[in-house]
Amino acid sequence: MHHANHFYGHAHIMAEYCGLDREHPPRINGYLQHGWNVVDGLGGGTPYVPGRPIFVYSEQTRRRAWSMGRRQATVVGAPFLYLLTMRPSPTPAEEAAREGTIFYPFHGWEGQHIAGDHERQVEEIMETESGPVTFCLYWQEYRNDAVRASYEKYGRVICHGYRGFQWRDTDIDFLDKQLAELRRHKRVASNRLSSAVFHGIAAGCEGAVYGDPMHLDKEHRPTADRVRRNWPELHGKQLDPAAARATALSELGDGYLASPAELRAMLGWTGYYTAQSAAETEAVPA
């Protein structure tokens, strides 16, 4: 299994949905898209073995993968949507209690760091948002005292956890923590369109994307600029909720979620399910 399949606990969520061991998911027969992107679903620079299956979020991503020569791409939908099917919907009282904004500053990763003015970023956020603001930082920025301090002066600062790397230290509850936070807030916002914004809108938040987009080291600027050009309905401080939700759900693959049996077959898990079912049957007292 490619180690990126474990990022954010994605393989663990899929295993739970399939009726398998969430703590120890079986090997996925292929590569599972681990975040929204505007190319073929693979992470930047990901080594790809030709002919191996790619499991992508949406039909749009599958078409891009096909155009780039990835002919084994299959649409399965985002793990976050599978998580939503397994967690109780908020009660009317919980919906009414939503307040404020959760803001996800654009972040770097182990191979690329971002450049930008965090202080000015926060000033614009506070000028825009009318309620309390929670800043959710990526683990790298959260561990950077200077960056974290830029946000702590203005509101609550959190981190959903470590995404994991090379199968180690994955916080398999990452998306559960994210879902719980999103459901506390009325709005979800970022300075770049990202998975977090799509997840927030899917979880019932109003969306917004505004501010200094910042940039990654050696970033391919035309690709970054294309995001703003191709998804104008998701950029701005006040979006049309219906249009934003329709696009967010489409990008996450709503309507393409597989049944547990279908997903087990696609991911190569049918044998694991049969073995587990047999073991559980034997364990039931007569």
Name the segment(s) of the chain with CATH classification 3.40.50: 90-251
Tell me which residue of 78, 239, 104 sits closest to 181, measured CA to CA.
104
The two structure tokens encoding residue 60: 């749009």
Structure-token pair, residue 232 = 């104008």
Give the pLDDT band (50/70/90) at residue 223: confident
Residue 14: the pLDDT is 97
Q: Is 182 a residue whose pLDDT tops 80?
A: yes
Give the whole-number percent of the chain exceeding pLDDT 90.
Answer: 62
Report the first-to-last Cα separation within the chain, whole angstroms: 38
**231: helix, coil or strand?**
coil
CATH number of 90-251: 3.40.50
pLDDT > 80? residue 181: yes
Tokens encoding 284: 């039931």
212, 105 Cβ separation under 8 angstroms: no
Looking at every residue in the chain, the average pLDDT score rounds to 88
Confidence band of 279 (pLDDT split at 50, 70, 90): low
How far, in Å, CA of 275 to CA of 145, rounded? 48
Burial of 135 (0-12, 13-18, 19+ CB in 10 A): buried
DSSP type of residue 224:
H
Assess whether pLDDT exceeds 70 at residue 4. Answer: yes
Distance CA 275, CA 252 (A): 31
